Structure 1
Amino acid sequence: MSNDYSKLAGKIVEKYGTQYNFAQAMGLSERSISLKMNNRVPWKDFEMAKASELLDINVNQLHEYFFTPKVHVCEQIA
């Protein structure tokens, strides 16, 4: 199952302007962040903790940013 990181992406832009700047603050490459944001590589627990700290995400809101399932819309043909 894929996660929807759109809220996380918005927070990254709000705080750091670009994914590149956020990657630098995380100590990761921009490619690593991109792979995580596109559900290619999972977030590790310590990475989520560090990202939450850098982005001022309250621990009670973690699920909104990291564990929201991506909803797949199926088109119905009449």
Structure 2
Amino acid sequence: MYRYLSGRLRQLGIRQTDLAKAMGLSEASISHRFRGRTPWSIDEMYQLLDICRAQPEELHIYFPRGGKSA
């Protein structure tokens, strides 16, 4: 799930551990969100766009419906 987001974080050298710290979440919480067990909140989505240095207009690319990239 969230392949584009995962790829961008890899490009930036950001691991899920680093992401959890940056977002103030546990590593398990991040893992659950990437696996689709827990939905991302809209605030978390925009926070991740900032971390990924992405524009708000790209939200649909990073967070496609159902978490699956086209």
CA contact (8 A) 1:52 1:62 kept: yes
Deviation at 1:68, TM superposition (A): 4.7
Instruction: Report the TM-score when normalising by structure 1.
Output: 0.76
Structure 1 portions without partners, runs of 5+: 72-78
Cα deviation digits, residues 1-46 of structure 1 (max 9, x gap): xxx4011011122224311111111111111110000000000011
Question: What TM-score does the superposition give when structure 2 sets the normalisation length?
Answer: 0.84
What percent of counterpart residues are identical?
A: 35
Say if 1:16 and 1:26 are closer, same or farther in 2 by CA, change over 3 A: farther
1:23–1:30 Cα contact (<8 Å) kept: yes
- Which residue pairs with 2:58 in the alignment? 61
In the comparison of the two structures, how many residue pairs are matched? 68
Alignment map for 1:19-58 (pairs within 5 Å): 19-58=16-55
Q: What RMSD over aligned residues (CA atoms) do the two structures have, in Å? A: 1.7
Provide the rounded CA distance (Å) in 1 between the counterparts of 2:13 and 2:65.
22
1:36 & 1:53 partners in 2: Cα distance? 17
Name whichever structure is richer in helix by fraction: 2
